[in-house]
């Protein structure tokens, strides 16, 4: 959740760390802080609020020194205030750290430290870790050993960077359950939660593995080992995306930019994979498990949030094309109910970041029970990508806006290709395969046409920005798109919204409908179109306002809808991709009209790396 950064090298550390925090602020923005080693002393400046507020209150220019750490926080233990902001120091003020994660046994450790006479100033678990390391240093007089000993005794998750005035030319980074990478530059190193904070300095990175530490020194470079002091062999990899991928490029918000990137990102999701003439796909990342996929009896999809919605759409698509039963599980519930998993099950984990804590826990449970686990993730080098048996990257590029947009359609792209791959491996005929492949290939241009509806969607958004409730309805494969549309509105505009299967409306939600309740219907011209029209009539009979997402050639729907947003015709199972575009725009323009912080909605963070 939180963003952490560290720097050691010949340059001034404060501006580099500050720039890194700005790049990673979508990971958390409850508070921010810096620690710089200056003239043998650690100088800490921190402030509740966003990075810009910390920059206004802290004299960053006066924090001179060539080694430092920084943090932007999503609060877990302790309310967002100045005292609970990171970095935290030990009792002597000579050791400081930044931490992403949760120390689950912090109360046990804290009691021991209190009994030993140590005091605390914050409510955080992170300060307990800092004081614990300080106590161990007092006993061991070895910075690395103190950090390693502390981390071997804590329970929970951490991505942590630690610095010490006792060892002014050393940074120590470690991870368990929280992402961390080391950027390797020319005689300088940048440690960060993700590549966005590193790319302006170097494209060469080392992704730390679970329970791995990096000891970085000014003169000897870096080496890695496990927390239990076993040497590891680091692999330096290349960052693939360009710097402009994490810039706004003239858009008012990252979210709007990412919405408009979808013609390209969807194309990138099938480029080099889709075999239109053969009606098939080539998914090289699944080659190692192809035989297990062919003989699988069941597929379980596990994910959270937007990725869960994509997985739910995937259930419809995979069952239709591959004729194999699919179950979709909330990752946050999966491992806690002792799920029944067979050795010939395929478990698919979907995650934009590849670091989602609940999804990681779910795949580890699935692997423990003998299933084959594959990952559909966006971030190269992420934990899920490394821990699954095989997988497919989304190729959506960096997604900075906290509310996911392009990752959702890219997930649908990969899921549909997977369904086609599984179908052709089984009984799906070539003619149908070619139809699906051609439909996928046409979607980037159709997405572009959906984006041309932006001004019309904005006009509707202005009319309903003061609404307090919305209902989103769809049937079949469009029901997950309705769920996702409602989630987008909730996330960024703070309007209460619910997604439902349209036919379920009369089993409860219809009681809410009156003249103040806008109802968004996904109503393409498909085999259940007439049923959706009947549901629209039920809303109109109760004075509800109808906003319809309808096919371009549908003229009859104008008679029953107050507003119509047109999307191009496509194959019915591909409709959620196109329907999601105006729903993203609707949420965006309503949030802007309400004065909400679109890219950094309250209480949220981009990557949920804690349970």
Residue 408 lies in a domain: yes
36 and 157, same domain (yes or no): yes
Among the candidates 413, 448, 483, a domain finishes at: 448
The pLDDT of residue 436 is 98
Asked whether residue 610 is domain-assigned, the answer is: no
91 and 42 within one domain: yes
Q: What is the CATH number of the domain that holds 109?
A: 3.60.20.10
Same domain, 392 and 434: yes
Q: Are 295 and 166 members of one domain?
A: no
- pLDDT class for 337, splitting at 50, 70, 90? confident
The pLDDT value given to residue 390: 97
C-alpha distances (whole Å) from 18 to each of 60, 346, 494 are 9, 43, 30
Quote the number of domains for the chain. Answer: 3
Q: Residues 253, 598: contact at Cβ < 8 Å? A: yes
Q: Which residues of 538-561 are buried (b: 16+ CB within 10 A; e: fewer)?
A: ebbeeebbbbbbbbeebeebeebb
Q: How many angstroms separate the Cα of 87 from the Cα of each of 32, 71, 117?
A: 8, 7, 22
State both tokens at 359. Answer: 């999804």
Q: Which domain holds residue 529?
A: 452-600
**Is the model's pLDDT at 175 over the cut of 60?**
yes
Domain identity same for 132 and 223: yes
d(Cα 582, Cα 481) in Å, to the nearest integer? 11
Q: Choose the weakest-confidence range: 313-327, 445-459, 514-528.
A: 514-528
Look at residue 172 and tell me if it is in a domain.
Answer: yes
Q: What is the pLDDT of residues 361-378, one digit of tens each?
A: 999 999 999 999 999 999
Reported as a single tens digit per residue, the pLDDT across 496-545 is 999 999 888 878 888 888 888 899 999 998 888 888 999 999 888 888 89
On whether both 9 and 156 belong to a single domain, the answer is yes
The Cα–Cα gap between 604 and 611 comes to 14
Whether the CB-CB separation of 168 and 159 falls below 8 Å is answered with no
pLDDT digit string, tens, across residues 57-74: 999 999 999 999 999 998
The number of beta carbons lying within 10 Å of the beta carbon of residue 478 is 30
**Stretch 123-137: mean pLDDT:** 96
Predicted confidence at residue 29, as pLDDT, reads 84
In a domain, 607, yes or no: no
254: region left, alpha or beta (phi > 0 left; psi from -120 to 50 alpha): alpha
Please report, for the domain that includes residue 546, its CATH number: 3.40.50.10490
Give this prediction's pTM. 0.86
Q: Clarify whether residues 491 and 548 are in a common domain.
A: yes
Percent with pLDDT over 90 in the chain: 81
Evaluate if residue 194 carries a pLDDT over 90: no
Question: What count of other Cβ atoms lies within 10 Å of the Cβ of residue 320?
Answer: 16
Residue 592, in any domain of the structure? yes
Residue 290 has pLDDT above 60, yes or no: yes
Give a yes or no: residue 554 inside a domain: yes
pLDDT band at 494 (very low <50, low <70, confident <90, very high): very high
Provide the mean pLDDT of the chain. Answer: 93
The whole-number pLDDT of residue 530 equals: 87
pLDDT at residue number 380: 85
Active site residue 450: no
Q: Is the pLDDT of residue 610 over 60?
A: no
Evaluate if residue 609 carries a pLDDT over 60.
no
Encode pLDDT of 352-362 as tens digits.
Answer: 989 888 999 99
Secondary structure of 569-595 in HEC code, one letter for each residue: CCCHHHHHHHHHHHHHHHHHHHHHHCC
Give the per-residue pLDDT at 483: 98
With a cut of 80, say whether residue 241 has pLDDT above it.
no
Q: How confident is the model at residue 608 (pLDDT cuts 50, 70, 90)?
A: low
Q: Which of 189, 220, 239 is the last residue of a domain?
A: 239
- Average pLDDT of span 126-154: 97
Is residue 227 located within the same domain as residue 292? no
Catalytic residue, from 257, 292, 490, 606: name it: 606
Choice between 244 and 11, residue whose per-residue pLDDT is larger: 11
Q: Is 2 a catalytic residue?
A: yes
CB burial class (10 A; 0-12, 13-18, 19+) of residue 409? buried
500 and 366 in a common domain? no
Neighbours of 537 (CB within 10 A): 11
Query: What's the average model confidence in pLDDT over 391-419?
Result: 95
Q: Do 512 and 581 fall within a single domain? A: yes
* 200-219 pLDDT tens trace: 899 999 999 999 999 999 98
pLDDT number for residue 144: 97
Q: Of the residues 2, 413, 450, 596, which is catalytic?
A: 2
pLDDT band at 606 (very low <50, low <70, confident <90, very high): low
- At residue 302 the predicted structure's pLDDT band, cuts being 50, 70 and 90, is very high
What is the mean pLDDT of the segment spanning 414-420? 98
**55 and 123 both lie in a single domain:** yes
377 domain-assigned: yes
Query: CA dihedral defined by 287, 289, 292, 293, rounded to 10 degrees?
Result: -60
Higher-confidence residue of 309 and 529: namely: 309
Do 441 and 457 reside in the same domain of the chain? no
pLDDT range class, residue 76, cuts 50, 70, 90: confident
Q: Which of the residue ranges 138-142, 438-442, 502-506, 532-536 would you say has the lowest mean pLDDT?
A: 502-506
Whether 609 is in a domain gets the answer: no
Radius of gyration of the chain (CA): 25
> Domain boundary residue among 221, 239, 257?
239
Q: Which residues of 93-131 are buried (b: 16+ CB within 10 A; e: fewer)?
A: ebbbbbbbbbbeebeebbeebeeeebeeebebbbbbbbb
Question: Cα(68)–Cα(44) distance, rounded to whole angstroms?
Answer: 10
């Amino acid at each position: 959740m939180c963003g952490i950064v560290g720097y050691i090298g010949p340059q001034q550390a404060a501006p580099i760390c500050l720039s890194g925090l700005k790049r990673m602020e979508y990971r958390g923005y409850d508070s921010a802080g810096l620690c710089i080693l200056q003239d043998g002393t650690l100088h800490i400046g921190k402030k509740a609020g966003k990075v810009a507020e910390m920059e206004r209150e802290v004299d960053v220019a006066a924090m001179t020194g060539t080694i430092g750490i920084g943090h932007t926080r999503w609060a877990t233990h302790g309310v967002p205030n100045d005292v609970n902001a990171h970095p935290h120091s030990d009792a002597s003020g000579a050791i400081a750290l930044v931490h992403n994660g949760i120390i689950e046994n912090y109360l046990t450790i804290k009691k021991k430290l209190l009994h030993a006479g140590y005091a605390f100033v914050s409510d955080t678990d992170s300060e307990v870790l800092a004081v614990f390391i300080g106590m161990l240093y007092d006993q061991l007089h070895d910075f690395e050993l103190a950090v390693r000993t502390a981390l071997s005794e804590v329970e929970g998750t951490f991505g942590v960077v630690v610095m010490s005035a006792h060892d002014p030319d050393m940074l120590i980074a470690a991870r368990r359950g929280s992402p961390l990478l080391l950027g390797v530059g020319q005689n300088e190193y940048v440690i960060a939660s993700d590549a966005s904070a590193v790319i302006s300095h170097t494209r060469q990175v080392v992704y730390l593995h679970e329970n791995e530490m990096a000891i970085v020194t000014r003169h000897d470079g870096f080496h890695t080992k496990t927390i239990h002091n076993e040497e590891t062999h680091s692999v330096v990899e290349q960052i693939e995306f360009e710097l402009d991928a994490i810039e706004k490029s003239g858009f008012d918000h990252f979210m709007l930019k990412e919405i408009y990137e979808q013609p390209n990102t969807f194309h990138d999701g099938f480029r080099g994979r889709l075999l239109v003439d053969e009606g098939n796909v080539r998914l090289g990342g699944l080659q190692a498990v192809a035989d297990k996929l062919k003989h699988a009896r069941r597929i379980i999809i596990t994910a959270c949030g937007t990725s869960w919605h994509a997985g739910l759409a995937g259930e419809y698509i995979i069952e239709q094309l591959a004729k194999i039963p699919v179950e979709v599980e909330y990752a946050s519930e999966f491992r806690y109910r002792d799920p029944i998993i067979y050795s010939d099950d395929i478990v698919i984990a979907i995650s934009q970041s590849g670091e989602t804590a609940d999804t990681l826990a779910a795949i580890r449970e699935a692997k423990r029970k003998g299933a084959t686990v594959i990952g559909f993730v966006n971030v190269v080098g992420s934990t899920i990508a490394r821990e699954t048996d095989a997988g497919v990257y989304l190729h959506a590029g960096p997604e900075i806006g906290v509310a996911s947009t392009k990752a959702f359609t890219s997930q649908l792209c990969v899921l549909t290709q997977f369904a086609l791959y599984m179908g052709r491996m089984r009984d799906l005929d070539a003619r149908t395969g070619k139809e699906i492949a051609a439909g996928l290939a046409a979607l980037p241009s159709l997405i572009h046409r959906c984006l041309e509806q932006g001004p019309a969607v904005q006009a509707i958004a202005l009319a309903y920005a003061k609404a307090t409730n919305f209902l989103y309805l769809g049937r079949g494969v469009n029901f997950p798109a309705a769920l996702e549309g409602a989630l987008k509105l909730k996330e960024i505009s703070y309007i209460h919204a619910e997604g439902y299967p349209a036919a379920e409306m009369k089993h409860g939600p219809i009681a809410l409908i009156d003249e103040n309740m806008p109802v968004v219907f996904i109503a393409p011209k498909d085999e259940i179109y007439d049923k959706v029209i009947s549901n629209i009539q039920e809303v109109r009979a109760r004075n509800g306002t109808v906003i319809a997402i309808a096919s371009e050639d549908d003229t009859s729907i104008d008679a029953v809808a107050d507003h119509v947003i047109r999307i191009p015709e496509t194959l019915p199972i591909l409709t959620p991709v196109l329907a999601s575009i105006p729903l993203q725009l609707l949420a965006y323009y309503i949030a802007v009209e309400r004065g909400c912080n679109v890219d950094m909605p309250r209480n949220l963070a981009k990557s949920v790396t804690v349970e």
